[in-house]
A and B are shown apart, each in its own frame.
Chain A
Amino acid sequence: MFLKHIFLGAMGISFGMFAAGGVFTVLISVGLIPRFAGKMHVSSKVFLFEEAVVFGTLLGDFISVFERHGKLGEFVLKNELFGQGRTEETWYVAGTAIIVVFGFFAGIFVGCLALAIAEMLNTIPIFSRRIGFRHGLGIAVLAVALGKAVGSLLYFAKAVYLYGGM
């Protein structure tokens, strides 16, 4: 029993290290964070952003792996952290604020990640060269952004995920 636990533990550590290596190599090689930092002229704070990446990952890991212990809302409501009777309303506002912040920043990140991966494969330069595309790149980029936003909204509004594996 004890030996088996040691074995499981060793497996867990290697799973974790390789998952980290794999996921983060992709994130780094598309160069998202340098681009944000470059655009905003805050490249001197790269260290801080890396810390944010580390702790963001740990948070995400905690929420998805230790799902049962990560239920913040349940915890707050059960213990009535904001006082008897008022907790539900207060937490409704506070929780919405947290969700809005999370959704907004996660959305920015994923939107950039999707395009950065497309760009890494040189889709846009190759395609625009093939069809002799010279002007209006800005419009094309805007169209891509709008298309992504509309697609994402439709996906959730029409519950497309219910038809998974059509």
Chain B
Amino acid sequence: MAGEIVYLKAERNVEVPEDDVFLKDIAKIYCANGNIAAKVKAIKVHRFSEAEPQRQVFGILKLIEMIQQACPNVTVENVGETDVLVERVNVDSHKGGTQWLKVVFVACISFFGTAFTIMAFHNDVGITKVFGKVYELVMGQPSPGYSILEVTYSIGLAVGIIVFFNHIGGRRITKDPTPIEVEMRIYEKDVNDALVETADREGKTVDVS
């Protein structure tokens, strides 16, 4: 058994639906020896109770210590994150009516907010005047108010955002993630980093001393 290497790939952020947190929930584990792998995976890392905060940060050294206590003489190689943020989530609160209410709320903000923003933008740049000037410049006579310019501008605007967001009606144009999806992941990463750093600074990280 001596000299076995356990590879540990810890995740940055884990959401667990149950009170008990096992090592297999928060990290991927590989070991050439299947018995050791199974034993390591079943290590109980933490138990959430009602009184405790619903987030907990673990230092990787603590996990390595646990592994070595369970299986002495193994070598642990960490190829993943050095801090793991474990969140206890309530599965029930993640679906149902309130969830849909939130979705509708955010969708409303996105819809009316951008409608307002584009109107404010048009107002700022005085778009009717600009169009009138351009029309007069090209056609040599005053704009009748609505011309091909306004129509094509709107088409261009639509094409622009659809290309920019890379999808229409739930179908992707190319396979790339959309800009909001990218921003979403960046935002989640920033939040995780901030939570880990804060826990570290407040000394709430579970780690070897």
From A7, A25, A109, contact of B114 by CB (8 A): A109
- On whether the beta carbons of B118 and A46 are closer than 8 Å, the reply is no
Q: Which of A7, A11, A23, A54 meets B117, CB within 8 Å?
A: A23
Which residues of chain B in 85-138 are interfacial with respect to chain A, using CB atoms and an 8 Å cutoff?
94, 99, 102-103, 105-119, 121-123, 127-128, 134-135, 138
Q: Is the CB of A101 within 8 A of B102?
A: no
Judged by a CB distance under 8 angstroms, whether A148 is at the interface is no
Q: Given the known A-B contacts A16-B157, A42-B103, A68-B145, are A56 and B110 also in contact in the complex, defined by CB atoms under 8 Å?
A: yes
Whether A109 lies near B138 (C-beta < 8 A) is: no
> B38 near A: Cβ within 8 Å?
no
Question: Are the C-beta atoms of A13 and B152 separated by less than 8 Å?
Answer: yes
Cα A12 to Cα B184 with chains together (Å)? 32
CB <8 Å contact, A33 and B157: no
Q: Which of B6-14, B28-36, B65-73, B175-183 contacts A (4 or more CB under 8 A)?
A: B175-183
A34 near B112: Cβ-Cβ < 8 Å = no
> Which of B113, B167, B168 has its CB near the most chain A CB atoms (within 10 A)?
B113
Whether B165 sits at the interface, judged by CB under 8 Å, is yes
CA distance A62 to B151 in the complex (A): 10
Stretch among B18-26, B44-52, B75-83, B186-194 lining the A interface: B186-194
**How many whole Å from A62's CB to the nearest CB in chain B?**
7
Contacts of B139 in A (CB 8 A): 4, 8
Is B169's CB within 8 Å of the partner chain A?
yes
- The 3 lowest CB-CB distance pairs between A and B, nearest first, are A16-B156, A109-B113, A20-B160
Most chain A CB neighbours (cut-off 10 Å) among B128, B138, B151, B180: B180
**A57-B187 contact given A50-B167, A50-B180, CB 8 Å threshold:** no
- Chain B residues near A41 (CB, 8 Å)? 94, 99, 102
Q: Contact check, B183 vs A28: say whether CB atoms are below 8 A apart.
A: yes
Size of A's binding interface in residues, CB under 8 A? 67
A89 to B103 Cα, complex, angstroms: 32
Q: Does B149 contact A (CB under 8 A)?
A: yes
CB within 8 Å for A56 and B115 given contacts A11-B149, A33-B180: yes
Assembly CA distance A18 to B125 (angstroms): 14
The yes or no answer to B198 lying at the interface (CB within 8 A) is no
B161 to chain A, nearest CB (A): 5
Q: Is residue A74 contacting chain B, with contact meaning CB distance below 8 A?
A: no
Contacting pair B108 A34 (CB below 8 A): no
Q: Report A36-81 residues with CB < 8 Å from chain B CB.
A: 36-38, 40-43, 45-68
The answer to whether B106 touches A16, judged by C-beta atoms less than 8 angstroms apart, is no
Known: A11-B152, A17-B156; 12 extra A-B contacts, CB below 8 A, are A8-B149, A24-B161, A27-B117, A31-B187, A38-B188, A47-B167, A50-B110, A58-B157, A67-B128, A105-B108, A109-B109, A109-B117
